[in-house]
Chain A
């Protein structure tokens, strides 16, 4: 699938920060952006750098993470179709707070900083969308801090499996539509890889999940919600 040249025809527009913009504004963005692709494993942005534009993901999956003092990753969240990365750093004129690496071959649209600010100035709706997005991410970050501080490793693992299912959905066989190593899951949970391996095995024995290689299937979402102390 090729990245569309014009934003108004992008299938991810309704779920993106650009929704609600009129055709003229979208046409203008289409002229200012460039389409870029990243290979699986390629770093897109580094914590500490000052990005000069934002990426709007068209296809692929990206992990956002920070590196601890000993080089251990803490995965903060995942980014997928229609999501923006780099915008908070540009708005705050601060170095970016997390690195971004493509988990699979990824296509994205790059909007340079000056053009991004022009879209903000010309379109109050876009400013509002960004404000809502920032507030949402702030809320999610708050939840994550609480989870890391108060929940046990098993609770956090169950919660993360549910988050992965909501974020990426399932493939035709019912497995999570994202392939993560046990180390990456551990980096998201904030624990050792060995603990994650042991807990995944426990959840599998209990029949709550299934796993085949790197792939994981959630069999019993309500049981995981109960373990994670998540109530809907």
Chain B
């Protein structure tokens, strides 16, 4: 995937209009990883969280033994919680769609993103989303109202 396609995909998953300069910077400082097939590991439990995956398209799944799995869609981030905590990855995270396109964001790229207020807000939103996902697992399924 070339730089322009990555920038376009990024703009599609962002809820705000990002400047071309920032998108270019993220595209250059992140690495693009295409997963082909279901069940490929983004992370295995215990991997060092030296970065996290930002899903451009497709779906991934956090496999939590004995619980419902957590599905991650385009725009969501896999491994962000462990990365922020500087902890090893807690659960296996696998691809759950035939094609999954991700960007891998390392500490350097993450720090640059955090310097921009809109991205900072988006990251905070993602962290809250992680917390919501895990909190949801604590509630028995039959007591979840839709």
Contacts and interface: CB of A to CB of B under 8 A. Distances in A.
Contacts of A50: 33, 41-43, 47
A48 B106 contact: yes
Interface in B39-56: 40-43, 47-51, 53
A43 B104 CA distance: 10
A68 to B, nearest CB: 11
A174 to B, nearest CB: 32
B36 A48 contact: no
Given A39-B3, A47-B50, A47-B106, A52 B28 contact: no
A225 B47 CA distance: 41
A46 B110 CA distance: 13
Interface residues of B, number: 28
A48 B50 contact: yes
A67 interface: yes
A42 B103 CA distance: 13
Interface in A56-82: 67, 71
A52 B33 contact: yes
Contacts of A52: 33-36, 40
Interface size class of A (residues with CB under 8 A): 20 to 34
Interface string B63-106: 00000000000000000000000000000000000000000101
Interface string A106-122: 00000011100000000
A41 interface: yes
B49 A48 contact: yes
Contacts of B30: 43, 46
Contact of A43 (B29, B41, B42, B43): B29
Nearest to A43: B31
B133 to A, nearest CB: 22
A44 B31 contact: yes
Q: Most chain-B CB neighbours within 10 Å: which of A43, A45, A99, A112?
A: A43
Interface string B102-135: 0010111100000000000000000000000000
B136 interface: no
Contacts of B34: 52-53, 112
B2 interface: yes
Interface of A: 36-37, 39, 41-53, 67, 71, 95, 99, 112-114
Given A36-B1, A46-B30, A67-B50, 6 more contacts: A41-B28, A46-B50, A46-B51, A52-B35, A52-B36, A99-B31
Q: 9 shortest A-B CB distances, which residue pairs?
A: A48-B50, A49-B104, A46-B104, A46-B31, A46-B106, A43-B31, A42-B28, A48-B51, A45-B31
